[in-house]
Amino acid sequence: MKQIKLKGNQLRKIGIKTPKAVSLVLHISKTAYKHKTNKELIQKVRAVIEDLEAYRTDEVFGKLVEEIKPSREPESDFAEKSKPFRVFGEENISEPAKHQMYSAMKLPITVDGAIMPDAHYGYGLPIGGVLATNNAVIPYGVGMDIGCRMCLSIYRDGPEMIYQRRDELKSILQTHTRFGLKERFDRPGEAEVLEDPLFGEIKMLKRLQMTAYQQLGSSGGGNHFVEFGVVTLKTDSVELGLKAGEYTALLSHSGSRGLGANIAMHYTKLAKSQSHLPKNVQHLAWLDLNSQDGQEYWMAMNLAGDYASACHHDIHRRISKALKIQAKNVVENHHNFAWKELMPDGREAIVHRKGATPAGKDILGVIPGSMTKNGYIVKGLGNQESINSASHGAGRIMSRRAAKQSTTRSAMMKELKEFGVELIGGGLDESPMAYKDIDEVMAHQKDLVQVLGSFTPKIVRMAHD
């Protein structure tokens, strides 16, 4: 029997009063309850109203519960006073970046915060900002490029391979890497993450599965790169399983491509629609992890992180296969992500690292410099003052626009030549002069990480300007 269309007044009689709540129930009647009677649906809605908390995370009725009884109080969305936070390398951090963290520390969900020495102005949180929150996630606190990360493969071969096979290595980078929105492989690789059931379970992910497949192993624009260089270890490293010396290495920097960007935009929009924040800090809008939207974002974020990792592994697999050698050791880490971690008082918090490297006790990571400056392989010291975090790079000293206006292509290429670096692609916005001095940044985080070795770029592949 065909179901008779529900009327809004029928729903208002049982306590469904707002237009959005009515719309949600009507949507449920056409989807999850399309094969059931109106009577059955009304009975179920009454049961939900009588015990809202029991249905707050329900797949079908969770959004309705959130509309009837939000899990937070609107009037408490922004405090007058900011909680204290720590700044590492404060003399090199701009006032706008510090002001962004100052605003984030006013949120009622905020537990703790810190700014890393490479920090600069961003959206929502500053790039280089670390924010711990109570059972809530800020999509823009993670960022647009979810799971943006570093991956370093260290080979047994010494640096002479770079000089002896230079033309071959340049050709390998051009053949086995793809950059930007449109470039992709004719035959994408395979990755277990592409078969994740979440692509079928979360509605907004369904349309992204094919894009994720097509973009596997590719990198974005801007500061994303794949480069050959030299790893130098001054002492034997138990952590890396390598003796002191120099090694050829491959370093990549990129994230979750269109998959992560679309997840970020979708859930940021949802967070903003539920926010009662002032307009100038709307990018700090959050999702309660007890809500359906919050749980969906958390699962989608982790999926994007796994996908970003798979992209790096595909890049390194392709290049190692072309080189006909296997890596002796691989070091990798996210730096645009959120983690569930324990705070010093034993409470669990959601730690957002927007452009910050995890630096928990004995955790390995890679902090890149610029095209003409060393990057570093580091081991975390587990410093609670920085919320177990460190910088994710040198950090910009100029905006992209300023960098383009302050130098020329010929000047940049001359600078690279002086340091023995060859660049394939790349724009003026990634000029080495646009970045802070990585050694100054590292000097401000001696208590946060231990340096195990350095990485010196030699052949760099980036997106074209």
Confidence of residue 372 (pLDDT cuts 50, 70, 90): very high
Average pLDDT over residues 367-384: 96
Sorted by sequence, the CB contacts under 8 Å of residue 367 that are 6+ apart come out as 150, 357, 375, 376, 378, 390, 391, 392, 393, 438, 442, 449
The mean per-residue pLDDT over the stretch 330-336 comes to 95
Tokens at residue 275, please?
């926010």
Using CB atoms within 10 Å of the CB of residue 343, give its burial: 0 to 12 exposed, 13 to 18 middle, 19+ buried: middle
388-424 pLDDT, tens digit per residue, is: 999 999 998 888 888 888 888 999 999 999 999 999 9
- Counted residue by residue, the chain has a size of 465
Is residue 41 predicted with pLDDT exceeding 80?
A: yes
Residue 400 DSSP SS3 = helix
What stretches of 89-165 show up as alpha helix (H) in DSSP? 95-104, 139-142, 160-164
Query: Among residues 96, 53, 104, which one has the least CA distance to residue 77?
Result: 104
Residues 6+ apart with CB under 8 A from 293: 63, 66, 267, 270, 271, 274, 287
pLDDT at 2: 53
Q: List, for residues 221-280, the tens digit of each pLDDT value.
A: 889 999 999 999 999 999 999 999 999 999 999 999 999 999 999 999 999 998 888 888
Closest by Cα among 385, 330, 331, 339 to 358: 339
Asked if residue 309 lies in contact with residue 255, where contact means CB atoms within 8 angstroms, the answer is no
**Per-residue pLDDT at 62 exceeds 90:** no
Structure tokens at 160: 């002479």
Over 50: is that where the pLDDT of 431 sits? yes
List, for residues 205-235, the tens digit of each pLDDT value: 999 999 999 999 999 888 999 999 999 999 9
- Three-state DSSP class for residue 191: coil
Q: What is the pLDDT of residue 5?
A: 72
Decide: helix, strand or coil at residue 440: helix
Instruction: Compute the distance between CA of residue 142 and CA of residue 139 in angstroms, rounded to an integer.
Output: 5
Q: Please tell me which residue, 129 or 76, carries the higher pLDDT value.
A: 129
One-letter amino acid for residue 83 of the chain: K
Specify the CATH number of the domain 149-464.
3.90.1860.10
389 is written with which tokens?
A: 């975090």
The answer, yes or no, to whether residue 77 has pLDDT greater than 70, is no
For residue 223, the Cα-to-chain-centroid distance in whole angstroms is: 14
d(CA 161, CA 165): 6
Under a CB-based contact definition with an 8 Å cutoff, are residues 232 and 456 in contact? Answer: yes
* Chain centroid offset of residue 343 CA: 21
Report the C-alpha gap between 326 and 321 in whole angstroms: 8
Q: Name 350's bridge partners.
A: 133, 340
Q: Report the pLDDT value the prediction gives residue 75, as an integer from 0 to 100.
A: 45
Mean pLDDT over each residue of the chain, to the nearest integer: 92
Sign of the alpha-carbon dihedral angle for 305, 309, 312, 314? negative
Say what the pLDDT of residue 381 is: 98
- Is the distance from CB of 228 to CB of 250 less than 8 angstroms? yes
Q: Domain residues of the chain, as ranges? A: 8-68, 149-464
Rounded CA-CA distance 265/144 in Å is: 7
